[in-house]
Structure 1
């Protein structure tokens, strides 16, 4: 049994940000930290005080976390980036919103002297007597407690605790300890009124500034002994706002045997289909799941059935349900049903390498050329057109003519890449499209609906896959940054045209954007090519296609990630920093991390993945270099070795950290702590200790990984999420079960129903089968609930681990 903590967040947009540049604008981006570790960086939105990012991330945090922080920065080409503000959310606050947080949140000011990182280990509990309530606090240890000021040098710390009573603001101060490195241990007890605690730092001849605070809720302390590491936080003030979506999922993952009945019950829906498609457990799952959770449910089901080798039958089942319930072919797959969401997630999980291979060359070309393209007469800016011609500004007609030729050129490249990609498309995707084509053709056989079977496929492939990737390449990992204003407009025009081609021109000329008319001939010429492409795409032998995906478990021969990085020479300690790094090409698989001088170089050096015991960031002041990570390994003799690697930007650093951590997450004897600095000039740059073998001064984050399409399948975690959704909908399931099991109330039920005639036509055998299916599903839910309760009781009986060391 294991605990699984997943943190989903989406940085949507900002509003009313302050201008940081002399031009009266800002170039904002967001840095996201979990317990002071940078886990994500959004792209920069240039010259915008109300930026839109729309970037979403999922973090896997098996070890849990204390604090989630969003820093809004202004990117500067010269000098350091300016800090605009931040939002800090503690774990308790996020947990108090089980349905998630989706709102505007005010930014707070950031003072470098008040930014704190580090943790303090406390044991807290509340004692009630007849006279008053007492808080007993046992302060045990601190680690990496330091302010994030932009300076280096010896840090000498003393810690003063201030207890604040909520009403009278009385204080009790206690000087506990003095130590140099920001890490220390002391013993002692204090008793006071319930309040908050504030550590202070000493300054000569002046009042010591507050370094931060630690807070706990009284209700939490009264329920249980509040012992554990507490994250030190900075102080706040208001500035600007961000719109955020944050959702925390903390689950107890049971052993696989407990989920097997649920997985088998869901699989029976597609392996042994019934005559009535609405009485299967899968159909009931769709009924009880909310619209907001449907995308997540679809993703989990896709991964479950990929692991079972039943993804294509699953998609065929949900598509068949959608097709048979649709009477108007113009509305087919237009809603956010389980079928449409499942196909979307299936294409992302299986087809992302295919998407990158098709679109990336053209997208890169568009970003590099940055051409001015505009067809809308209301938006043409003749001043911007000066760069098109050396002879001065062009007329409006000349701009439109130039834009039309550029668009046709890019569109030709895009369509040639798509139409010529039949062999690149994963066979399992082709089989899924083939079955979808057949279902639609059988449902709408009329000659007037000849194009419906093509639109059903192109609606997914073009409208939900290729066109969104063209519109926002950053969200599909095609680019590291969002497009600037000029390139973004070009991508929008290209995406609109690709959508029209994917619709096979059915809505051509009916929209309000008549200025797109010059592209209509190109769209009409492409339609026949798309039909031929789709015919070739579904011309596949479905019997010989295996659904086994390499990402079910990383196969040793599969390269998880590769690319150029800069490796630090181990023997270059005495050299100038810039001469100690060498460019090397790295490959990561589930077995080895290899590197050589170039991709074609015959000689490679390799590190076995099983020897990796920590993968962490490195402080910038260690080598005066940004975006660095360290990979710590242990040889056969137990000796530790550290490899320092520099990435080109923070996004690349996060991707490599996450990929290596995923590959090594099940390694034994992972290090609980490490040094974020380097051992130089006889001491560690982070904690100033002179003993090279001293225990690390920072907790490792090896379990923190970014979720993406390349994640290995985890059937137990996927099944747990499905169980959670069924548990939320259990009352609705019971109502359905009791409704069909109590014939005496049937007239009353039919009076309340909006579909009386349909219920009257149903036979008793249908009611019996539906009642039996609901009963089976409820039994499985109840068994899983009992298993969770049994594990909870066992945990309470065993009691918490009182050891305060990491």
Structure 2
């Protein structure tokens, strides 16, 4: 065996652990945020809680804050008014329409996250088929003469090596074919676009048209929408399908290059061809005629997209969920075994079954086509935990504990293919059960075998679990359920980090009040009077939440000390 020197990998890992309080403690904060949108100030210089939040949060945290804001307002049925408020402020501060929404402002990040949260099923409906075809066909595509590899031409022609020009010609035809399918899928998807997205784009269209009137700015209203829809949604999904759950694995090097070229072209189409010929990549020129010919289709698509009937504009107030309750949110083959019945543990005690998970049921059968299926109501699941490897001498194990009609606990053990699949299933089931009542606080990470638990060696099968259960999930995914308490906690933490800036703002406004002038402006005193309470009330909310956290910490510490004083059975 030839031993070579392995490469080094440097990781930066950050673990964040937070305590989520009951809903009543976050309500004052949510009320302040909602008030910013529903009762906006009359004067432009007046500050709201949302304005202050954007001022004090860092650029690095803006995406996370935007995601939580979008979800909070989705839960309130007010996401379109939120986006209107943020977009109006962004448009009023922008002097050049060419730079509109091109920064990482809270408005642009909120629109970007809004599309991911609300529009991901729509994205899958539009792009998944063509993305799958690109992965399966694995065609060699290259337009840049500096990157063409003549050795790969055998995959194109078995007769002889192809010239550089022939490779470019063949690649151009392949790219145009893919692009034609992508553009046709997008422009033909108006009716499938979520009504909430269409309404938000309609309002954005009107705002930009109002701020930038005149024939010289006639494309601004199109670019504002296509900048979000094409540049921040469709093009990134084409470039990295795995990040948008279009594929389970990243593309190989050859497919990645094809996706990159397609994403570049889609970006140019989204820019309405305004940047065509101005870049350094002149080798993209053969695609320019196709890009320019697609601009008219895109404009017509955007016109139809924002042509929403009046009755649809109220749909954003309907309850929102990323999936229909019965829609499958995860599926695949797993190995299962019930806890009761068998004492012999071997690989034959596990049966390969195909599982489907929705927000209503966890279902399994011998195969996807098998008609006889077993379904477990999600509301009966009361624990989803890992299993120690020594319990079955098998890795990547999880257990799902349910409660039957008689109140008896039943446990099903499941083996996944690898640790990634294990984490994905743990997170998916926990998300589906996040609102379940009577979840178990403790469980056994082992199994009951040989008249005792393998984890704590207790001989009583009904004894309380020896390990705490968990509710942790992989957050930040577009399919995360709405959880106002968790989302408000993130906003609170960001405000807490910027509390010094908030205090400085209060002092600044107080000093301005003494002189009768707004800092940096000539605003009258009534404007100042309405600006100061927003900052002051935010500080009061932060102080109340901080006191509540301390009280819960003290209570938890007392419970841990009391538990530590009790004897624990030795293994």
Q: TM-score, normalised on structure 1?
A: 0.63
Of 197, 200, 213, 1:432 maps to: 200
Deviations along 1:297-325, one digit per CA (max 9) or x if unpaired, are 11121111111111000000000000011
| Residues 535, 575 of structure 1: alpha-carbon distance in 2 compared, 3 angstrom cutoff | same
Structure 1 stretch 371-380 or stretch 664-673: which is displaced more? 664-673
Of 255, 260, 269, 1:492 maps to: 260
| Aligned partners of 1:616 and 1:676 also within 8 Å | no
| Aligned partners of 2:45 and 2:527 also within 8 Å | no
Corresponding residue of 1:269: 36
| Aligned partners of 1:480 and 1:651 also within 8 Å | no
Of 507, 517, 523, 1:738 maps to: 507
Of 18, 31, 51, 1:250 maps to: 18
Of 426, 444, 449, 1:674 maps to: 444
Corresponding residue of 1:514: 282
Report the Cα distance in structure 2 between the residues aligned to 1:262 and 1:608, rounded to whole angstroms: 35
**Aligned partner of residue 615 in structure 1, secondary structure:** strand
Segments of structure 2 that go 5 or more residues without pairing to the other structure are none
Task: Choose between structure 1 and 2 for higher RCO, CA contacts under 8 A separated by at least 6 residues.
Answer: 2
**Aligned partner of residue 101 in structure 2, secondary structure:** coil
| Residues 715, 618 of structure 1: alpha-carbon distance in 2 compared, 3 angstrom cutoff | closer
Residues 599-748 of structure 1: matches in 2 within 5 Å? 603-618=372-387, 627-637=396-406, 639-665=408-434, 666-668=436-438, 670=440, 672-676=442-446, 679=449, 693=461, 699=467, 701-707=469-475, 708-743=477-512
Deviations along 1:97-129, one digit per CA (max 9) or x if unpaired, are xxxxxxxxxxxxxxxxxxxxxxxxxxxxxxxxx
Residues 98-247 of structure 1: matches in 2 within 5 Å? 240-247=8-15
| Aligned partners of 1:382 and 1:395 also within 8 Å | yes
Report the Cα distance in structure 2 between the residues aligned to 1:801 and 1:534, rounded to whole angstroms: 63
Report the Cα distance in structure 1 between the residues aligned to 2:75 and 2:93, rounded to whole angstroms: 29
Report the Cα distance in structure 2 between the residues aligned to 1:782 and 1:354, rounded to whole angstroms: 42
Corresponding residue of 2:543: 782
Corresponding residue of 1:359: 127
**Aligned partner of residue 564 in structure 1, secondary structure:** strand
**Aligned partner of residue 292 in structure 1, secondary structure:** coil
| Aligned partners of 2:456 and 2:466 also within 8 Å | no
Following TM superposition, by how much is the alpha carbon of 1:431 offset from its aligned partner in structure 2, in angstroms?
0.8
| Residues 650, 364 of structure 1: alpha-carbon distance in 2 compared, 3 angstrom cutoff | farther
Corresponding residue of 1:100: none
| 1:802 is aligned to 2:563 | yes
Following TM superposition, by how much is the alpha carbon of 1:655 offset from its aligned partner in structure 2, in angstroms?
1.9
Report the Cα distance in structure 2 between the residues aligned to 1:263 and 1:566, rounded to whole angstroms: 41
| 1:543 is aligned to 2:310 | no
Corresponding residue of 1:73: none
Following TM superposition, by how much is the alpha carbon of 1:289 offset from its aligned partner in structure 2, in angstroms?
1.5
Q: Aligned-pair RMSD on alpha carbons?
A: 3.4
* Corresponding pairs, count: 560
| Residues 386, 24 of structure 1: alpha-carbon distance in 2 compared, 3 angstrom cutoff | farther
Report the Cα distance in structure 2 between the residues aligned to 1:263 and 1:676, rounded to whole angstroms: 42
Task: Compare the two structures and name the one with the higher helix fraction.
Answer: 2
Structure 1 stretch 570-579 or stretch 624-633: which is displaced more? 570-579
Following TM superposition, by how much is the alpha carbon of 1:464 offset from its aligned partner in structure 2, in angstroms?
0.8
Segments of structure 1 that go 5 or more residues without pairing to the other structure are 1-20, 27-48, 50-239
| Residues 403, 686 of structure 1: alpha-carbon distance in 2 compared, 3 angstrom cutoff | farther
Corresponding residue of 2:534: 773
| Residues 633, 722 of structure 1: alpha-carbon distance in 2 compared, 3 angstrom cutoff | closer
Report the Cα distance in structure 2 between the residues aligned to 1:254 and 1:700, rounded to whole angstroms: 19
Residues 190-589 of structure 1: matches in 2 within 5 Å? 240-251=8-19, 253-279=20-46, 280-541=48-309, 542-551=312-321, 557-559=325-327, 561-568=329-336, 577=347, 581-589=351-359
| Aligned partners of 2:335 and 2:416 also within 8 Å | no
Following TM superposition, by how much is the alpha carbon of 1:598 offset from its aligned partner in structure 2, in angstroms?
5.7
| Residues 254, 625 of structure 1: alpha-carbon distance in 2 compared, 3 angstrom cutoff | closer
| Residues 258, 277 of structure 1: alpha-carbon distance in 2 compared, 3 angstrom cutoff | farther
Following TM superposition, by how much is the alpha carbon of 1:366 offset from its aligned partner in structure 2, in angstroms?
1.4
Structure 1 stretch 769-778 or stretch 478-487: which is displaced more? 769-778
Report the Cα distance in structure 2 between the residues aligned to 1:787 and 1:381, rounded to whole angstroms: 64
Corresponding residue of 1:164: none
Structure 1 stretch 359-368 or stretch 699-708: which is displaced more? 699-708
| Residues 248, 507 of structure 1: alpha-carbon distance in 2 compared, 3 angstrom cutoff | same
Deviations along 1:469-521, one digit per CA (max 9) or x if unpaired, are 11111222222222111111111111111111111111000000000001011
Report the Cα distance in structure 2 between the residues aligned to 1:479 and 1:678, rounded to whole angstroms: 39
| Residues 501, 626 of structure 1: alpha-carbon distance in 2 compared, 3 angstrom cutoff | farther
Corresponding residue of 1:69: none
| Aligned partners of 2:141 and 2:258 also within 8 Å | yes
Report the Cα distance in structure 1 between the residues aligned to 2:539 and 2:395, rounded to whole angstroms: 54
Please tell me whether Structure 1 or Structure 2 has the larger radius of gyration of its CA atoms: 1
**Aligned partner of residue 256 in structure 2, secondary structure:** helix
Structure 1 stretch 344-353 or stretch 541-550: which is displaced more? 541-550
Report the Cα distance in structure 2 between the residues aligned to 1:621 and 1:778, rounded to whole angstroms: 51
| 1:763 is aligned to 2:532 | no
| Residues 524, 772 of structure 1: alpha-carbon distance in 2 compared, 3 angstrom cutoff | same
Residues 84-95 of structure 1: matches in 2 within 5 Å? none
| Residues 586, 733 of structure 1: alpha-carbon distance in 2 compared, 3 angstrom cutoff | closer
| Residues 787, 656 of structure 1: alpha-carbon distance in 2 compared, 3 angstrom cutoff | closer
